[in-house]
Amino acid sequence: MEKDSVEFEKYIRNIADFPVKGIQFKDITTLIKEGDVFASAVDFMYDPFRDKVVTKVVGIEARGFIFAAAMAYKLNVGIIPVRKPGKLPGDIIAEEYQLEYGKDSVEIHSDALQKEDKVLIVDDLLATGGTASATARLVSGTGAKIVGFSFLVELVELNGREKLPDKEIHSLIKFSV
């Protein structure tokens, strides 16, 4: 499937006031249920990184796992989950961040990455950049190097890219909020 022949935006459903009033939630379930569209989206998210040295893909909970697993498979590397608090057994490191509608934190196993790892961070959505920035701090805290970020959707006016300076960032679908 050619990118120009797929209007990915039409596969994203907008849900008003979810999870809180004032948020326009971008529901990706309407995209991932279409096998050919999902496969094409993964291919386009992967393409900018196909010739990069990547040793691990870090997927951000929860919808980011969907795309991170597919991209790790295509890159033939392992996947590292970044989870919300209390979901990982064993020793963890954590980072707090601001959401567009509150505050939260993310965690990773303290032994998940090594200094020699080259990491691609994947999530379904870049909004304010809080989750991605916290994940970047977790990855950098292990000594691993960040190769870049790949997102399915970017909410452009929320300026999430500003929290990820000097990083290669690719997003397939860009929405105005």
Task: Output helix, strand, coil percentages for the chain, rounded to the nearest 5.
Answer: 35, 35, 30
The most distant pair of C-alpha atoms in the chain lies apart, rounded to whole Å, by 46
160 domain-assigned: yes
Classify residue 15: in a domain, yes or no.
Answer: no
Q: Which residue has better confidence, 138 or 97? A: 138
Distance CA 48, CA 54 (A): 12
Query: Residue 32 falls within a domain, yes or no?
Result: no
pLDDT at 81 over 70: yes
Question: Catalytic annotation on 50?
Answer: no
Residues spanned by the domain of 120: 42-175
Q: Which of 7, 9, 63, 157 is catalytic?
A: 63
Query: Active-site residue 63, yes or no?
Result: yes
Q: What is the CATH number of the domain that holds 145?
A: 3.40.50.2020
Q: Which pLDDT score is estimated for 4?
A: 55
Annotated catalytic residue within 61, 100, 137, 168? 100
Please tell me the total count of domains within the chain: 1
Question: How confident is the model at residue 103, as a pLDDT?
Answer: 84
Say whether pLDDT at 23 is over 90.
Answer: no
